[in-house]
C-alpha cells in the first residue's frame, strides 16, 4: 500500500547533500533477514544512503516465526553487553526505510531520557485484552509495537535476557508483557515513541502522514503530532483492490515474454484478436491465445502469463500491458530494460484529463482516494 511513499523517501536520499552526513560511531543497526527480498534490498539502499552501519542476523536460516528475531537478537547482544556507550537500533527490514541519518536518530533518542524506546502503535496487538493494562498517556499512541526499538546495548541485553520461547512465538507479546510489568519497565527504563518522533508505523495510522517537499528533498511528516520520523515502517495488512472494468471496455491482456500470451474475455473482440494473430504471430517466438471460451478472470490471466515466464529458463524479462494503454515510443522495451530495475510500473494518464492509474492516497478500506497533490502529479508538475 505504501510502496510509493517508501520509494519517494528513497529518492530523497539521493538529493544533493544527503550523502554528506557521517555515521555516529556509537550506533549499530541490527536487523533480521533470512532471505534477500526486494524489500530488504530497499532497506539496505536507504541505510547506505544515510551511512548507517547495519549487521544482518539470520541470513540463510529457515524462517520459523517472529520469536526467531528475539533469539537471534539475544545471541547477537552477548558481544556488546559490556559496551555502556553503544546504542543499538533493532528494526524490521522487509518493509522499512530510513528517512534521515544517525545524528538525528541519536539526538531524538537521547532527548527521551530513557534507556530503551519502542515504536508506538494505535492498536494493541496481538492481545487486545491487555489494552486496559497500558499506562495512560496525555498525547500520542499508547500501545507498544515491536517493528523497531532503540536502546543502549546493556539495557537491551537485560530486555531479552529472559527469552526462552520458541521461534514460532510472538516477539511483540514478549516485549509487551515486559513493558506492562511496572517493575521491569522501570528497571530497564523503557518508554514508547508516543508522538512518532523516531518511528512511524502505518498500521492504523494511514491518514496521519503526508509527504513534505522542501529544497529538493522529501520527508514523511506526521500531521497529528507535527513530527518528522526517522524510520518509516509500512507494517500491517495492505488491501489493494483493482477498479472494476465495465463490460464494454476492451479486455485483451497482452504479455510479452519469450512468447506472447493474449487473453480475451469478450466475444466481440475475438475476430480482431484472431486477425492480429494471423498477421503478426510469426513475429514472436511463441504465441498462446486464451479465448472467451477458456477465459476466467483478469487475475488468473495475468498469473498464467507470469507462470509461462517462470517455467521458461530463457525468459529474462516479463512485460505486461492492458489494451487500454497506447504506447507511442517504439523503443520502450529497450528503455525499460536499460533502467536495470527489478520491477517498473508506469503512471499512465489520459490526454487532457485528470484520470490516471496513480493512486494519490489510499482510503481506510484500502481503496482509491485522491491526494491533495494528485492534480500536480498527474499533470507532471510534481514528480
**What's the pLDDT band for 116 if we cut at 50, 70, 90?**
very high
> Torsion angle of alpha carbons 239, 244, 250, 255, nearest 10°?
20
**H/E element holding 252?**
strand 252-256
pLDDT of residue 372: 83
- Out of 178, 204, 233, pick the residue that ends a domain: 233
Tell me the pLDDT tens digit for each residue of 167-220. 999 999 999 999 999 999 999 999 999 999 999 998 777 678 887 877 767 888
Mean pLDDT of 71-90: 94
pLDDT of residue 214: 73
Mean pLDDT of 351-355: 81
What is the C-alpha to C-alpha distance for residues 39 and 35, in angstroms, rounded to an integer?
A: 10
> Torsion angle of alpha carbons 92, 97, 101, 105, nearest 10°?
-40
**H/E element holding 249?**
none
Q: How many percent of the chain have pLDDT more than 90?
A: 45
Tell me the pLDDT tens digit for each residue of 319-334. 888 877 888 888 888 8
pLDDT of residue 249: 28
Instruction: Indicate if 192 and 260 belong to the same structural domain.
Output: no
Mean pLDDT of 34-60: 93
Please check whether residue 338 lies inside any domain of the structure.
Answer: no
pLDDT of residue 203: 77
Contact 320, 255 (CB under 8 A): yes
pLDDT of residue 22: 54
What is the C-alpha to C-alpha distance for residues 293 and 357, in angstroms, rounded to an integer?
A: 29
Please check whether residue 195 lies inside any domain of the structure.
Answer: yes
pLDDT of residue 167: 95
Residue-number span of the structural domain to which 175 is assigned: 3-233
What is the C-alpha to C-alpha distance for residues 91 and 98, in angstroms, rounded to an integer?
A: 10
Q: Judging by DSSP bridges, how do beta strands 87-91 and 27-32 pair with one another?
A: parallel
pLDDT of residue 245: 29
Instruction: Indicate if 61 and 155 belong to the same structural domain.
Output: yes
Instruction: Indicate if 252 and 323 belong to the same structural domain.
Output: yes
- Out of 198, 233, 268, pick the residue that ends a domain: 233
What sign has the CA pseudo-torsion 72, 75, 77, 80? negative
Instruction: Indicate if 131 and 255 belong to the same structural domain.
Output: no
Contact 54, 47 (CB under 8 A): yes
pTM for the whole thing?
A: 0.66
44 vs 123: which has the higher pLDDT: 44
Please check whether residue 363 lies inside any domain of the structure.
Answer: yes
Q: Judging by DSSP bridges, how do beta strands 116-121 and 143-152 pair with one another?
A: antiparallel
Instruction: Indicate if 148 and 226 belong to the same structural domain.
Output: yes
- Out of 185, 216, 233, pick the residue that ends a domain: 233
> What's the gap between Cα 269 and its chain centre?
39
Instruction: Indicate if 249 and 182 belong to the same structural domain.
Output: no
How many other C-beta atoms are found inside a 10 Å radius of the C-beta of residue 57?
Answer: 19
Contact 262, 252 (CB under 8 A): yes
Contact 170, 66 (CB under 8 A): yes
Instruction: Indicate if 86 and 193 belong to the same structural domain.
Output: yes
Tell me the pLDDT tens digit for each residue of 266-301. 778 788 888 888 888 887 777 878 777 775 677 888
**233 three-class SS:** strand
**Domain count of the fold of the chain:** 3
Contact 120, 140 (CB under 8 A): yes
pLDDT of residue 225: 94
What is the C-alpha to C-alpha distance for residues 373 and 186, in angstroms, rounded to an integer?
A: 45
Q: How many percent of the chain have pLDDT more than 70?
A: 86
Contact 21, 13 (CB under 8 A): no
What is the C-alpha to C-alpha distance for residues 328 and 320, in angstroms, rounded to an integer?
A: 16
pLDDT of residue 20: 43
Instruction: Indicate if 253 and 181 belong to the same structural domain.
Output: no
Amino acid at each position: 500500500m505504501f510502496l510509493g511513499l517508501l520509494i519517494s523517501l528513497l529518492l530523497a536520499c539521493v538529493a544533493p547533500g544527503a550523502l554528506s552526513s557521517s555515521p555516529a560511531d556509537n550506533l549499530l543497526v541490527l536487523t533480521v533477514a533470512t532471505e534477500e527480498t526486494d524489500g530488504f534490498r530497499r532497506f539496505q539502499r536507504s541505510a547506505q544512503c544515510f551511512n548507517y552501519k547495519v549487521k544482518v542476523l539470520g541470513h540463510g536460516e529457515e524462517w520459523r516465526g517472529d520469536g526467531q528475531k528475539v533469539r537471534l537478537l539475544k545471541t547477537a547482544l552477548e558481544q556488546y553487553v559490556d559496551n555502556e556507550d553503544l546504542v543499538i537500533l533493532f528494526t524490521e527490514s522487509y518493509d522499512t526505510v530510513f528517512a534521515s541519518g544517525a545524528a538525528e536518530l541519536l539526538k531524538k533518542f537521547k532527548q527521551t531520557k530513557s534507556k530503551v524506546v519502542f515504536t508506538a502503535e494505535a492498536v494493541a496487538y496481538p492481545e487486545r485484552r491487555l489494552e486496559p493494562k497500558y499506562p495512560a498517556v496525555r498525547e500520542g499512541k499508547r500501545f507498544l509495537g515491536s517493528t523497531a526499538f532503540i536502546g543502549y546495548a546493556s539495557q537491551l541485553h537485560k530486555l531479552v535476557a529472559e527469552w526462552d520461547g520458541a521461534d514460532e512465538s510472538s516477539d511483540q507479546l514478549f516485549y509487551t508483557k515486559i513493558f506492562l510489568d511496572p517493575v521491569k519497565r522501570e528497571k530497564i527504563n523503557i518508554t514508547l515513541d508516543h508522538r512518532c518522533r523516531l518511528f512511524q508505523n502505518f498500521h492504523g495510522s494511514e491518514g496521519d502522514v503526508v509527504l513534505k517537499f522542501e529544497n529538493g528533498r522529501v520527508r514523511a511528516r506526521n500531521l497529528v503530532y507535527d513530527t518528522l520520523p526517522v524510520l518509516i515502517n509500512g507494517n500491517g495488512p495492505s488491501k489493494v483492490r483493482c477498479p472494476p472494468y465495465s463490460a464494454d471496455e476492451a479486455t485483451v491482456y497482452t504479455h510479452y515474454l519469450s512468447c506472447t500470451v493474449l487473453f480475451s474475455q469478450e466475444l466481440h473482440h475475438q475476430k480482431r484478436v484472431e486477425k492480429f494473430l494471423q498477421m503478426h504471430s510469426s513475429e514472436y517466438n511463441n504465441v498462446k491465445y486464451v479465448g472467451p471460451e477458456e477465459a476466467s478472470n483478469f487475475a488468473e490471466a495475468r498469473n498464467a502469463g507470469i507462470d509461462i515466464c517462470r517455467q521458461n529458463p530463457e525468459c529474462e524479462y516479463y512485460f505486461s500491458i492492458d489494451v487500454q494503454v497506447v504506447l507511442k515510443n517504439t523503443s520502450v522495451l529497450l528503455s525499460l530494460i536499460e533502467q536495470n530495475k527489478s520491477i517498473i510500473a508506469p503512471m499512465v494518464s489520459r490526454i487532457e484529463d485528470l484520470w490516471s492509474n496513480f493512486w494519490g492516497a489510499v482510503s481506510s478500506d484500502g481503496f482509491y482516494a485522491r491526494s491533495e497533490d494528485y492534480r500536480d502529479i498527474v499533470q507532471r508538475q510534481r514528480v
